[in-house]
């Protein structure tokens, strides 16, 4: 799905008490391979927002799993994963015309903290 990306927030206790919330973003036209795009994540007390090209496309501020009281899970360390997924149960296996090898280019990653 070259015109889409996913923002997912895994949370909760160890498996099987964990959950995952998130959604898919689709470009209005073209694919992510056509040009560079700016993708951001803003993590604030009680919520995480995902941004593409300056526009917020998803906010996660609720969860459902065993775990602590508010502000959990937003008071726990998170990892940022940047990857190109091909095949598997998430989006299905590649078709016969899927181009290989595939490339995933990231120009830069910046992490900052508001004061």
Domains assigned to the chain: 1-109 (2.60.120.200)
Instruction: Give the C-alpha separation, 102 to 82, whole Å.
Output: 15
For the chain, the residue count is 115
Cite the beta strand spans of the chain per DSSP E: 4-12, 18-26, 39-44, 47-52, 55-60
In this predicted structure, what is the pLDDT of residue 60? Answer: 87
In this predicted structure, what is the pLDDT of residue 70? Answer: 62
In this predicted structure, what is the pLDDT of residue 57? Answer: 94
In this predicted structure, what is the pLDDT of residue 111? Answer: 83
Identify the band that residue 67 occupies on the pLDDT scale cut at 50, 70 and 90: low
Instruction: Give the C-alpha separation, 66 to 13, whole Å.
Output: 6
Query: pLDDT digit string (tens) for 23-65?
Result: 999 999 999 999 999 999 998 878 889 999 999 999 988 766 5
Handedness of CA 2, 53, 12, 61 (dihedral sign): negative
The residue among 27, 30, 33 whose CA lies nearest residue 4 is 27
Instruction: Give the C-alpha separation, 112 to 31, whole Å.
Output: 28
Query: pLDDT digit string (tens) for 70-85?
Result: 666 677 777 888 888 8
Residue 92: φ, ψ to 5°: 95, 170
Residue 108: φ, ψ to 5°: -160, 160
């Amino acid at each position: 799905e070259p015109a889409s990306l996913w923002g997912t927030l895994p949370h909760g206790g160890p498996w099987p008490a964990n959950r995952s919330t998130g959604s898919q973003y689709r470009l209005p036209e073209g694919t992510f391979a056509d040009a560079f795009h700016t993708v951001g994540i803003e993590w604030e007390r009680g919520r995480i927002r995902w941004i593409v090209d300056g526009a917020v496309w998803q906010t996660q501020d609720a969860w459902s799993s065993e775990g602590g009281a508010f502000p959990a899970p937003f008071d726990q360390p998170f990892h940022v994963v940047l990857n190109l997924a091909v095949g598997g149960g998430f989006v299905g296996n590649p078709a016969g015309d899927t181009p290989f090898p595939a490339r995933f280019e990231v120009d830069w990653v910046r992490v900052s903290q508001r004061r």
